[in-house]
């Protein structure tokens, strides 16, 4: 009796899936350690610079804001207000930019069959998310130490908004990293389109209700504006945004991340050949 080709095919076992996931987790962990040592091991300040940089930016914008106006937006204290804008936006921006050169800068690692383009890109993005998440927590703790009354109204809401920012940044990161071997100027293009323009229009140092309605209608097409409004609504007891939409923010985050994975899947083989 002839056997069906389907019955002759090897069955996928749970142990095989577990082994594959374990191997990939170990590869990503090793890549994160390698990236950490490469990026911070040669500098005297090391990880300390990751804390100092956003702290300097917060201090600069607080000084500028205090000079321009005396009241605080939405009744929120000015220093925590700036902190909850700059660091979460940096979470989106840096995860995107750090992932862009992952393939070209790790080309030698592809000689190992266990290492894939997904691994090197994802490891960079995950490192940035973990690093900036830790920086955010450290700065909040530091503000508490120096006398600020830090009481987060809805911690899960803050975590959810940060997760959406990270997801969208990694989605763009996968796209740009997969296209960079074919478009050498991709980093400059993405920086011009998504660097300063987004920083100025995403609500990092203002809230939606303080903007004229004619301008606000256009700014609210920016999903980052929604994410920062939602984050501050969850963070501050004295502020509740009428403009941040979870549906809009979640849709953008998941669609961007999914599109990034699709672009990477389509271009990953050609990206290695194009190096």
CB 204 within 8 A of CB 232: no
Q: CA-CA distance, 166 to 170, in Å (whole number)?
A: 6
Question: How many helices (H) and strands (E) would you count in the chain?
Answer: 12, 0
Backbone angles phi, psi at 71, to 5 degrees: -90, 160
Residue range 129-169, pLDDT digits in tens: 999 998 888 888 888 888 777 888 999 999 999 999 999 99
Judged against a pLDDT cut of 60, whether residue 9 lies above it is answered with no
246 confidence band (pLDDT: 50, 70, 90): very high
Q: Are 141 and 163 in contact (CB under 8 A)?
A: no
Cα maximum dimension of the chain: 88
Of 75, 170, 202, 91, nearest to 137 by C-alpha is: 91
Contacts with 88 (C-beta within 8 Å, 6 or more apart), sequence order: 136, 161, 162, 165, 227, 228, 231
Closest residue by Cα to residue 162 from 143, 135, 198: 135
- Specify the higher pLDDT residue, 113 or 97: 97
Helix (H) or strand (E) holding 38: helix 14-40
What are the residue ranges spanned by the domains of the chain? Answer: 14-273
Mean pLDDT of the chain: 84
Q: Give every CB contact of residue 166 below 8 A, 6+ residues apart in sequence.
A: 91, 92, 95, 125, 129
From residue 64, alpha-carbon distances to 52, 58, 67, 241 in Å are 18, 10, 5, 24
Supply the pLDDT for residue 142. Answer: 84
The two three-digit tokens of residue 115, written as one number:
């290492």
């Amino acid at each position: 009796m002839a056997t069906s080709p389907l019955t002759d095919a090897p069955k996928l076992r749970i142990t095989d899936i577990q082994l594959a996931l374990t191997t990939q987790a170990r590869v990503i962990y090793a890549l994160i350690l390698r990236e950490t040592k490469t990026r911070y091991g040669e500098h005297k300040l090391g990880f300390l610079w990751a804390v100092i940089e956003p702290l300097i930016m917060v201090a600069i914008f607080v000084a500028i804001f205090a000079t321009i106006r005396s009241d605080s937006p939405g009744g929120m204290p000015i220093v925590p207000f700036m902190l909850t804008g700059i660091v979460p936006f940096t979470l989106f921006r840096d995860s995107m930019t750090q992932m862009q050169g992952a393939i070209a800068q790790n080309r030698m690692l592809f000689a190992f069959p266990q290492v894939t383009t997904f691994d090197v890109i994802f490891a960079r993005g995950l490192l940035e998310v973990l690093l900036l998440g830790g920086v955010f927590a450290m700065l909040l703790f530091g503000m508490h130490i120096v006398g600020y009354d830090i009481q987060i109204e809805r911690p899960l809401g803050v975590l959810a908004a940060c997760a959406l920012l990270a997801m969208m940044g990694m989605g763009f990161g996968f796209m740009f990293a997969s296209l960079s071997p074919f478009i050498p100027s991709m980093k400059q293009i993405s920086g011009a389109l998504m660097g300063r323009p987004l920083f100025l229009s995403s609500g990092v140092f203002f809230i939606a209700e303080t903007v004229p309605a004619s301008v606000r209608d256009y700014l609210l097409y920016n999903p980052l504006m929604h994410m920062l409004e939602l984050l501050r609504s969850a963070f501050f007891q004295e502020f509740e945004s009428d403009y941040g939409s979870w549906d809009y923010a979640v849709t953008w985050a998941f669609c961007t991340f999914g599109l990034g994975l699709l672009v990477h899947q389509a271009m990953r083989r050609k990206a290695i050949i194009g190096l």
